[in-house]
Chain A
Amino acid sequence: MSIPMIVFIICGIFAVLGAIGLILAREPVHSALSLVLVMIALAVLYLLLGAAFIAAIQILVYAGAIMVLFVFVIMLLNAGVEVRTNLSRLARWVGIPLAFLFLVEMIYSLFHEYVGRAGMAAGGTFAAPVPASTEALSMKIFTEFVLPFELTSILILIAILGALVLAKKESA
């Protein structure tokens, strides 16, 4: 087993454990910290795929800025222990089996698509299908995909406007 494969398995396990912890933890801070674990594990996975820029952004923006904000908000609001609601009957008898079915479907189709085509079997390479270097990425963003990139600025403007609308003090 190659070293990337070992790193992949370890990070994959951490990501799944973090995701489960996020849902099951009763203290909001524990949930937030589990999410940090997921983010960091994902960043390592991106790195394995050769996407260094995405990995760096993942750490900077998600694990860094956003999660710090989460933790601060939780602490400032002094959020107490989560009150458990019992799963509704629909969630228990329909939701959980469906979620499980979805998992099986995902595993089946991914295996069908990749292992079936002898991709993994041929040595388990993690080479990205397209060059994912920062240079190639920026070339794509600023030439081919410049429209969605610019549209995102409108999206952020709307988010700011929305925060203003919902949080502004009522002027007398």
Chain B
Amino acid sequence: MFPPLQDLYRIAPEIVLCFFGILIMLIDPFVPAGRKRSMGWLAFVGTLVALASLRFMFTHLGSAYSGLLRVDVFSLFVHGIVIVVAALAILGSFDYLDHENIQRGEYYALLLFATAGMGILASANELITAFVGLEISSISTYILVGFRRTVLKSNESSLKYFLLGSFATAFFLYGIALTYGATRSTRFEAINQAIAAHGSGALLILGLGLIFVGLGFKVVAAPFQIYTPDVYEGAPTPVTAVLACGPKAAAFAVMLRIFYSAFGNASHIWFWAIWVSAVLTMCIGNFAALVQSNVKRLLAYSSIAHAGYILVAFVAASEIGVAAVLFYLAAYAAMTLGAFLIVAHVGGTGERRLDVADYAGLGTNQPWVAACFSLFLLSLLGLPATAGFLGKFYAFSAAVDQRIVWLVVIAAINSVIGAYYYLKVIVAMYFWEPNKEWTPSPMHAPMFIVLLLTAIGTIYLGILPDRVMQWAIASAQSLH
């Protein structure tokens, strides 16, 4: 009846993250205003402990809390991504929060809570649990997006994200209700069995569609991507970095579980929906990015395009396809986190330098930063020997394996189009004359370490992908 004690091991990372979040809330009032950065270090320690506590999950694989959670290699993999993203984002936030004058403990607490919610999403094996996890991660990020309270743009993007996000959540909930009506259960296995036994009626299709609306919003799949550029632009840049990596990975994880485990027997229904969405997502992201002159918006559109590439692997609906999605999420997290944090660094106080023209001369002013940024951009573009190339390679070959050739052709054309806008920024950094005198802000140790780690990650995944890919394949196998 009552959940056994070892279930606690299976949610160890969430317990650790929430514990440190609450600890920060308790200590924060006693920390003098000038020393708030110590809260950030405490949060960083929290993420490290959470990372270590994955060990407990690993030794207690299995279902927990009467089957509401399913702790398998898949959920471990996604936990790894979201916790590492949070840890690096915390380190990358220090300077930014200082010069924006918003160095406050709540920022770090919210980041930890959001990560805990993403962890729940990664393990959820039942729709209500997934919903609560989704809400925990969403509501924390709504607040984080509006953290620069005095900046009008930040307020606007927070409100936009909140209103549209609430709509998306309502759709998700409506979808859960209809699915429950059609199958009499919210558990993934039970839904799967009900579909196998009774087939899929009109109600179930409608429910699945609404669930896709709710999750499509979180993974920025078209046509639910409209909010992305505004929200990503208005959010504090380190928060944008987290938004593009963490919640996206968690939402893709729960989407994989729902579509493969619960609705696996109805894949003929969702195949074309995802197919069309993938095409739209890639094309809208890439074509809109072509005309952007603001680097933050450009990267926002690029994140839409990359969601489209991930959907290509998603459509493949095979073990390799799932592994490709997971590998892509890890690779994308490494390069995007680095890219957005460089935008935060170059942007300076008040995020004044966001234009492509402002990057002119960075190659001579701060050669290391420029080199790192070039690496991330080339990886996003998909140059061989970088993480982005192998991510795309696995994704596209998984789709080709399933004979989804036209989609791969469209995806390949899209990645060529992407070259234009990524290279534009690199050309600006090295070949354009700086249009005004500008002394770049100095790079401090925490940010330097983050950039170093993300750059190493990008190259490592690009040259020696075997180990991570093996984990990804093991995760894909554990999904069934």
Contact = CB atoms under 8 A, between A and B. Distances in A.
A158 B66 contact: no
Nearest to A147: B65
Interface string A128-168: 01000000000000011111100110110111011011100
B203 interface: yes
A34 B212 CA distance: 31
A158 B132 CA distance: 12
B120 A146 contact: no
Contact of B203 (A113, A129, A146, A151): A113
Contact of A162 (B3, B128, B143, B206): B143
Interface stretch (A5-13, A54-62, A104-112): A104-112
A146 B65 contact: yes
Report the contact-size class of chain A (Cβ under 8 Å from the partner): 20 to 34
A162 B109 CA distance: 11
B9 to A, nearest CB: 14
B147 to A, nearest CB: 7
A112 B69 contact: no
B170 interface: no
B68 A143 contact: no
Contact of B139 (A110, A143, A162, A171): A162
Interface residues of B, number: 45
A105 B206 contact: yes
Interface string A93-106: 00000000000011
A165 B147 contact: yes
Contacts of B1: 143
A164 B106 CA distance: 9
Contacts of A146: 2-3, 65
A112 B202 contact: yes
B265 interface: no
Contacts of B133: 151
Nearest to A167: B149
B2 A143 contact: yes
Interface string B48-80: 000000000000000011101100000000000
A129 B128 contact: no
A144 B33 CA distance: 44
A152 B132 contact: yes
Nearest to A113: B203
A109 B208 CA distance: 13
A109 B18 contact: no
Nearest to A129: B184
Interface string B10-42: 010000001000100100000001000000000
Interface of B: 1-3, 11, 18, 22, 25, 33, 64-66, 68-69, 104, 106, 109-110, 113, 116-117, 120, 128-129, 131-133, 135-136, 139-140, 142-143, 146-147, 149-150, 178, 181-182, 184, 201-203, 205-206
